[in-house]
Amino acid sequence: MTHGPWYCRHRFAVDGLIAAAFVALDTVLTLAGAGWWPERPDTVAWMVLGLQALACASLVVRRAAPLAVVGVLGGFTLLVSLLIEPLGLVTPAQPDWLWAPLATLPAAYGPVFYQHDRRVAYFALAALTLVVMRPWDASVTTMTIGLLRTAVGPLVGLYFDARRKLMRALVERAERAERERHLLAEQARAEERARLAGEMHDVVTHRVSLMVLQAGALKVTAPDDTTRQAAEDLRAAGCQALEELRDLVGILRTAPDGDGTPSVAGFADLVAESVAVGIPTELVQEGDPALASPVVGRTAYRVLREALTNVRKHAPGARVRVSVRYDQAQMRLTVHNTPPAGVPRGELAGTGSGLGIAHLRRRIELVRGTLRAEPCSDGGFSVEATLPAFVPTAESEV
């Protein structure tokens, strides 16, 4: 649905009303003697009057075919001039008046405003001006009025065209400012999120560290084995909580300070570890690894590490193919394993929180990437991560 004023929603109807108005106006003015109309009209005069009405009616397509309208009205004016002189078939009552209908005024507006090729528009308007002014029948009044008749329309068209371009530029500037404001707001939210993550890490780490230290001291000073075992369990749980807290803060921060996670250079080590524990793993890389920014490389490293860990847990004996593709726009990591050759060990498969993929998905969303993890038609499993090649961070600017 088109929005805007009614004259913008019904342009063809508006042009039809304009054409009808100029048909009536030129007809009345001609019959009143303000033009080429003779004192004693004959059949030729009435036929020319009908042609004039048709020529003025061409204004109905002044938007779609502005050059055609100029051609029709210019052709009609030239025809009238030829009928008056040299043919002598029409003898006007006022020989020093303009032969061109008043409809040439809005017709001259169209080519400048609606025609894309200005050179063609100016050529057509020059030809129309020449026909209306009749320089071969020199008259200061006729030439002056004819020039004004064909010059007002183009000047008005140039004004409205400049105004339209100015409004478009202002709208584009406002939209660009809105986008920049949105980006600044996103940056502010990211910085606030990182600040809150750091504060949470400092506060919670301090308290949990105290618990771990107290549990370790209790283990040393406990008088019986039961208390020592409970203290050890408490200490281990505290250490695990610290590790999970550090991982969570890493999710909240795009590029955590002091993050020691390897980047794409560590892919070969992960693959070598899988091969060492009996998982046949193949690494295929295409493109330049330097295209991946540090935060993207660390995120991809975590994806590969989690995927290979899941293979060891849930698909013993499977073969794994790791494909990495680098280009200017994005980095794509695909880890595919064949169906397992054996039954997973229950104690190994049951370890972990079961939220590894969910955490990875959150990490990837932070850098505007996507993660897909799903079974394959061959019975295996595939993990595919698509990441932008570059994510700006303070680290990448150093």
Same-domain check for residues 134 and 15: yes
When pLDDT is cut at 50, 70 and 90, the band that residue 258 belongs to is: very low
Specify if 156 maps to a domain: no
Mean pLDDT taken over the chain: 80
pLDDT tens, 22-51? 889 888 888 887 778 888 888 888 998 899
Domain-terminating residue out of 138, 159, 187: 138
The reply to whether 38 falls in a domain is yes
Domain contains 76: yes
Between 63-77, 231-245, 333-347, 349-363, the lowest mean confidence (pLDDT) is in 349-363
Mean per-residue pLDDT, 189-199: 72
Structurally, the chain folds into a number of domains equal to 3
Q: What pLDDT was estimated at residue 203?
A: 66
**Which CATH number does the domain housing residue 350 bear?**
3.30.565.10
Query: What pLDDT score does 356 carry?
Result: 64
Q: Which of 130-139, 273-282, 385-394 holds the top average pLDDT?
A: 273-282
Residues 60 and 117 in one domain: yes
344 in any annotated domain: yes
The model's pTM: 0.41
Same-domain check for residues 225 and 269? no
- The answer on pLDDT for 350 being more than 50 is no
- Assess if residue 198 is contained within a domain: yes
SS (H, E, C) the chain: CCCCCHHHHCHHHHHHHHHHHHHHHHHHHHHCCCCCCECCCCHHHHHHHHHHHHHHHHHHHCCCCHHHHHHHHHHHHHHHHHHHCCCCCCCECCCCCCCCCCCHHHHCCHHHHHCCCHHHHHHHHHHHHHHHHCCCCCCHHHHHHHHHHHHHHHHHHHHHHHHHHHHHHHHHHHHHHHHHHHHHHHHHHHHHHHHHHHHHHHHHHHHHHHHHHHHHHHHHHCCCHHHHHHHHHHHHHHHHHHHHHHHHHHHHCCCCCCCCCCCHHHHHHHHHHHHHCCCCEEEEEECCHHHCCHHHHHHHHHHHHHHHHHHHHHCCCCCEEEEEEECCCEEEEEEEECCCCCCCCHHHHCCCCCCHHHHHHHHHHHCCCEEEEEECCCCCEEEEEEEECCCCCHHHHC
Looking at the domain assignment, is residue 229 inside a domain?
Answer: yes
Lowest mean pLDDT among 211-220, 261-270, 343-352: 343-352
129 and 240 housed in the same domain: no
- Which among 117, 138, 159 is the end of a domain? 138
Structural domain for 224, as ranges: 174-252
Do 248 and 195 belong together in one domain? yes
pLDDT above 60: residue 259: no
**21 lies in the same domain as 110:** yes
Q: What is the pLDDT of residues 163-192, one digit of tens each?
A: 888 888 888 888 778 777 877 777 777 777
366 and 337 in a common domain: yes
Please check the confidence at residue 283 and state whether its pLDDT lies above 90: yes
- For the cut 90, the answer to whether the pLDDT of residue 324 exceeds it is yes
